[in-house]
Amino acid sequence: MSESKSQVTLDVQVLRVGLVGLQESDLSSSCQRALASKGSLLQITRLDPGSIGLFCLDSENPFDLILIDCRVKGAGHNLACEIKKVCGDVLILGFIDEDFFNIEAMNDSAIDWFVNEQMAGIAMSWAIREGLVRRRGLIERELLRRQVEEASYNNEMTEVASTVLHNVGNVLNSVNVAVHVVHELVNQSSVILVQRIAELLKKHNESWEIFLTQDPKGKRIPPAIMKLGGHLIEEQQTVLKELEGLVRNIDHVKQIIISHQAMTKSRGLSESLSVVELLDQAVELSFQPGDAKWIRIQRDYQALPAVVIDRHQLLQILVNLLRNAKQSMQLQGGVNHLLTIRAEERTEEGLSVVVTIQDTGMGIAPEHLARMFTRGFTTKHDGNGIGLHSSMVTIHRMGGLLQAHSDGIGAGATLTLMLPVQGEAGQR
């Protein structure tokens, strides 16, 4: 909020003054002058002591200054206590008689200041000034709180948008590979041979028997068709597999967006699921058949309890970790890389499922380990430092833990993901 708007908001606020058991005419002339001097800055309301409970319920718009008639011994004490419970910051002045000197004997902590006729004018001026200072302080604090909330909200939306773009970008990499494979297959498809055979047969449509049995070109057609059938089946299976992967990836993109939309409102939808099943799906999304030429994936899965968690958020995390491992091994170079994926159950400090992803990639420098999950930190030339940070934040929201370990550059890295097992999920 701009400074000018803040100033306007401050100017239109007034100090709410309540008179309990008093009329304005009961106040001394000096008190009345003090009230009149502030004019429109004060809103004076007479409160009936018999219905003070209704006033105390108005905690959203409390009074700033309360004047209570305490000229009868003990009067006003209970009301003052009741008011303080609801409006802790309110100033309470108790009016006493001129001949009442033993103020300390009253021992009333609810009333801030006892005043008699002689001190009333000075006390009223001070109380009004103090009340206005407090009122402005409260308003400024509220404005600051709103600004902080707005900044926090904008930061959260930026975080969500960055995470969505990062996770969708990961999936689109797989989509791009699949589209490229399908394009190459269609561009070089054996269907072209079918068209050529059809053209040859069309030229000899009146003498197919002679053409297929005596003509050198025609003799090659039957065995070519037999081979062609096998090629077309292989092409079809490959295209179907890539299309199935495309459908899964597109569905994953949809779920990423839905999941993050849900995160802006509330926690995502949790369900009981198999971590092993999700790991296999993450591997399928992260690696292509051609990767088998340079990397071997070793899976070590133990019998595990189900976990209750948001499926697509966990899938995003696993894909992030696996693709980071893959990129690290690609940067390291070589053709004999090993990726080990373990999933086991642990009972230390509560039942949990632990997933370990160990690669033979570039490794992590000791000075970088402590910063691995810091937003914006990355060692990749084209990285943005979002993936690991968002994964860590999401896992913490799920009640889990994400840790990284490496013996240094060239020694590979190990990422450990711990997921809590709660309630019925822990039952086999």
- pLDDT of 155 reads 63
Reference 355, options 368, 344, 340; nearest CA is 344
The predicted model gives 183-196 an average pLDDT of 76
Domain definitions of the chain by residue range = 3-152, 189-265, 267-428
Least confident piece of the model among 5-14, 321-330, 402-411: 5-14
In the block, residue with structure tokens 């008689």: 97
Q: Is the pLDDT of residue 200 over 50?
A: yes
Reference 322, options 358, 292, 372, 274; nearest CA is 358
**Is residue 415 within 8 Å of residue 339, measured between CB atoms?**
no
The dotted CATH code for 267-428 is 3.30.565.10
Q: Is the pLDDT of residue 7 over 50?
A: no
- Domain 3-152 coded CATH 3.40.50.2300: yes
Is residue 11 very low, low, confident or very high in pLDDT (cuts 50, 70, 90)?
very low
Neighbours of 71 (CB within 10 A): 17
Q: Is the pLDDT of residue 413 over 90?
A: yes
- pLDDT of 54 reads 45
Q: What is the pLDDT of residues 364-412, one digit of tens each?
A: 988 888 888 877 677 766 665 677 877 888 888 888 889 999 998 989 9
Q: What is the pLDDT of residues 334-358, one digit of tens each?
A: 888 999 999 999 887 667 899 999 9
Q: What is the pLDDT of residues 134-189, one digit of tens each?
A: 778 877 887 887 777 677 656 655 665 666 666 676 677 777 777 777 777 777 77
- pLDDT of 342 reads 95
**Terminal CA-to-CA distance of the chain, rounded, Å?**
55
CA 255 remoteness from chain centre: 15
